[in-house]
Amino acid sequence: MAAGGAAEDCSFHYWKNPSPEEIGQSTLEFLKRLPGPTHIHVEGQDPTRCRAVTTLLHGNEPSGLHAVFTLLRLQIRPVVDIHYFIPSVDAARQAPCFVYRMLPHQKDLNRCFGKPFGDSKQDKLAADLIAKLERYRPECVIDIHNTSGSGPSFGVTTFMDARHDALVSLFTHRMIVTDLKLGALMEISETLMPTVTIECGGAQDPESDKMASDGLLKYVTYPDVLNQENLDISLEFFHNPLRLELRENRDIAFGDHSLLEIGITLLPDIENHNFGYVEPDTLLGFVAGR
Ligand SMILES: [Zn+2]
C-alpha cells in the first residue's frame, strides 16, 4: 500500500474495548469520533472464539451503527470476542450526515468483494476487510444495512443451509435467497465463513434501529448463533429475486404517468412490490423511447 495520508483510509483503524465515555452520547457523536474506517474489537467471555459484524458499508444506512453504539453504551459483555468493522465513515459524515451511500465518484463498497480486487480506495478497503476476516477467522459474519426508501426487514443469503437460516432468524423472519453475484460481502460464504446480509427496513423507519439493536444483542450474547434449534422463529423464504438494471445514463422518474420522453417512470409505490409475486398484467411503470 502506498505511504501517505490517503493510504490511511484504505485500511481500518483499530480501537479496542472503547468505553461508553469515549464513544459519546449519541450515534451521531459516535460517528464523529470514529477516526475513519474503524475496526472495533470488544473482548468477550471466551476470547478463543470470535464473531464479526460489518455495518455502514453504505454511509446512508445508520441502523447497524446505532445498534453497535447502543451495545457499547450499555457495556454489554459479549459471550465471545466481537469484531465490528465500520468502513464508510467518511461518506456517512458528509453533512447533514447519513445521506451519502458513498462519496461522489467512489465505487459502491459492497460491490468490491469479488477477487481479484481492483486498486481503487474502495477495493483496497474491501481487501483489508477480507484479510482481517481471514486472520481472525470469526465463526460467522453479519452485515447490517437499511433498505432504500421504506419497507419491511429481511435477510439475504447466497448460501442456503441451517447456519445461515439461524443467523437471519436473530433479526427477522423474511429471507431472500439469491444467486445474483455482484461482489457483495456475503458472497464470501462460499469460501470463508457463514455470512448474511440483514436489511433492517428503511433508515427513517423508527423500528429499524430497534430491530438492529435487538438482533445484535442476541448475536453477541447467545452461546450458539448457528444452530436454529435454539431459536423460536420460522422463516419465510423468497427465492430467485430479479434484478432490473437500466443502461448507463438512462433517466428514471417516479410518478403515476409517463414523465420522460426517453426513460423509465416507475410508480411512486413501487416498493410495495418488493415482496410477493408480479403477474404479467401488473403495472409497475412506463417505458418511453426504445
Ligand atoms: Zn446497503
For 230-244, write each residue's pLDDT tens digit.
Answer: 666 789 998 878 777
Residue whose C-alpha cell reads 464479526 in the numeric block:
52
pLDDT tens-digit readout, 125-174: 999 999 999 999 999 999 999 998 778 899 999 988 999 999 999 999 99
pLDDT at residue 230, as a whole number: 60
Q: What is the pLDDT of residue 1?
A: 32
In a domain, 246, yes or no: no
Within a domain: 244: no
**15 and 58 share one domain:** yes
Neighbours of 229 (CB within 10 A): 8
User: Within this chain, do residues 14 and 145 fall inside the same structural domain, yes or no?
Assistant: yes
**Domain shared by 13 and 148, yes or no:** yes
Give every CB contact of residue 17 below 8 A, 6+ residues apart in sequence: 41, 42, 43
Dist. CA 60 → ligand 1 center (Å): 8
Q: Give the pLDDT band (50/70/90) at residue 29.
A: very high
Q: Does 47 lie in the same domain as 159? A: yes
Q: How far is the CA of 151 from the centre of ligand 1 (A)?
A: 13
Q: Each residue of 260-285: pLDDT tens digit? A: 888 899 998 887 777 777 888 999 99
What's the gap in Å between 183 CA and the centre of ligand 1?
13
Identify whether 129 is part of a domain: yes
| 145 CA → ligand 1 middle, Å | 5
Looking at residue 247, what is its pLDDT?
75
Domain annotation covers residue 247? no
What's the pLDDT tens digit per position in 83-124? 999 999 999 999 999 999 999 899 999 999 988 888 999 999
Distance, CA of 108 to CA of 13 (rounded, Å): 20
pLDDT at position 232 is 62
**Is a pLDDT exceeding 90 seen at residue 229?**
no
Amino acid letter, 70: T
In angstroms, what is the span from residue 109 Cα to ligand 1's centroid? 9
Does pTM surpass 0.85?
Answer: yes
pLDDT digits (tens, 9 = 90+) for 191-204: 899 999 999 999 98
State the distance from the centre of ligand 1 to the C-alpha of 106, rounded, in angstroms: 15
Note whether 258 and 233 are same-domain residues.
no
Give the model's pLDDT for residue 115: 84
Q: 244 CA distance to ligand 1 centroid (A)?
A: 17
Q: How far apart are CA 64 and CA 209, in angstroms?
A: 7
Q: How far is the centre of ligand 1, averaged over its atoms, from the C-alpha of 61 (Å)?
A: 6
CA–centroid distance, residue 255 to ligand 1 (Å):
25
Assigned C-alpha cell, 36 = 475513519
Question: Confidence band (pLDDT; 50, 70, 90) for 8?
Answer: low
Question: Are 209 and 262 members of one domain?
Answer: no
Instruction: Please tell me the distance between residue 146's alpha carbon and the centre of ligand 1 in angstroms.
Output: 6
87 Cβ contact list (under 8 Å, min separation 6): 12, 37, 54, 56, 57, 109, 125, 129
3-class secondary-structure state, position 161? coil
Q: How far is the CA of 70 from the centre of ligand 1 (A)?
A: 20
Task: Answer yes or no: do 228 and 264 share one domain.
Answer: no
Tell me, in angstroms, the distance from the centre of ligand 1 to residue 72's CA. 22
Dihedral through CA 17, CA 21, CA 22, CA 27, nearest 10? 100
83 and 36 inside one domain: yes
126 CA to centre of ligand 1 in angstroms: 15
CA of 24 to the centre of ligand 1 (A): 25
pLDDT of residue 78: 98
Residue closest to 11 by CA, chosen among 37, 30, 50, 35: 37
Q: Answer yes or no: is 12 within a domain.
A: yes
Give, to the nearest 10 degrees, the angle between helix 206-221 and helix 63-73.
50
| Cross-strand bridge partners of residue 144 | 55, 198
Q: Is residue 203 part of a domain?
A: yes
Asked whether residue 245 is domain-assigned, the answer is no
Looking at the fold, whether 274 and 131 belong to one and the same domain comes out as no
Task: Say yes or no: 120 and 169 in one domain.
Answer: yes
Owning domain of residue 206: 5-239
Q: Is 43 inside a domain boundary? A: yes
In angstroms, what is the span from residue 57 Cα to ligand 1's centroid? 6
Centre of ligand 1 from the C-alpha of residue 103, in Å: 14
CATH code (residue 151): 3.40.630.10
Q: How many domains does the chain have?
A: 2
Gap from CA of 45 to ligand 1 centroid (Å): 31
User: Based on the domain organization, do 224 and 118 belong to the same domain?
Assistant: yes
Calculate how far, in angstroms, residue 104's C-alpha sits from the geometric centre of ligand 1: 16
Q: What is the dihedral of CA 42, 57, 11, 189, to 10 degrees?
A: 80
Is there a single domain that holds both residue 165 and residue 278?
Answer: no
Residue 162 backbone phi and psi in degrees, to 5: -65, -30
Residue 119 Cα to ligand 1 middle (Å): 22
- pLDDT digit string (tens) for 65-89? 999 999 999 999 999 999 999 999 9
Give the Å distance between the CA of 59 and the centre of ligand 1. Answer: 8
Q: Which three cell numbers stand for residue 108?
A: 459502491
- Ligand 1 center to 147 CA (angstroms): 7
Q: pLDDT per residue over 241-259, tens digit each?
A: 877 777 777 788 999 999 9
